[in-house]
């Protein structure tokens, strides 16, 4: 489902979040009537036999929580439109579904801020970067 515990914990939240997208899409596709929530996703990870050793579960949970909230903050996990009140149910955004279908594109999803580039090369580099 997800990489080994040490790998999960070592990944930055954005890297893990992008790796979680295909998992979330597949998991939600197998359980379409069940809301996609962080609680239910963590429960599925915990009960998946042999996925993680008990001593690794708390570290993995922290990493998954960080990645989940990064996905929300990036607009990749959005509130489920079926509900008109505050709920923890989420759905993948259109962009998240696209990234989940094309995992190789997730490697280019991390962007540098334009103002963080050296001024003498900024415009040339910015013109080459994928949007």
Residue 1 confidence class, pLDDT cut points 50, 70, 90: low
Of 18-22, 60-64, 114-118, the least confident: 114-118
Of 68, 91, 59, the residue nearest 78 (C-alpha): 91
The residues near 5 (Cβ < 8 Å, ≥ 6 apart) are 52, 53, 56, 59, 60
Q: Could you tell me the pTM of the whole model?
A: 0.75
Residue 126 pLDDT > 80: no
Residue 47 confidence class, pLDDT cut points 50, 70, 90: low
Domain positions in the chain: 5-128
The residues near 98 (Cβ < 8 Å, ≥ 6 apart) are 105
Question: Tell me: the pLDDT tens digits for 69-91?
Answer: 999 999 999 999 988 888 999 99
In whole angstroms, what is the distance from residue 129 CA to residue 23 CA?
27
Question: Tell me: the pLDDT tens digits for 48-65?
Answer: 767 788 788 889 999 999
Rg (CA), the chain: 17
């Amino acid at each position: 489902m997800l990489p080994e515990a040490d790998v999960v914990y070592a990944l930055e939240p954005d890297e893990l979040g992008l790796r979680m997208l295909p998992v979330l899409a597949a998991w939600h596709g197998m359980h379409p009537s069940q809301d996609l929530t962080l609680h239910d996703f963590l429960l599925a990870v915990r009960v998946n036999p042999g996925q993680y050793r008990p001593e690794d579960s708390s570290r993995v949970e922290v990493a998954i929580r960080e990645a989940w909230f990064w996905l929300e903050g990036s607009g990749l996990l959005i509130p489920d439109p079926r509900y008109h009140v505050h709920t923890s149910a989420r759905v993948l955004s259109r962009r998240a579904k696209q990234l989940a279908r094309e995992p190789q594109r997730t490697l280019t999803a991390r962007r540098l801020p334009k103002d963080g580039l050296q001024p003498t090369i900024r415009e040339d580099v910015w013109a080459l970067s994928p949007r």
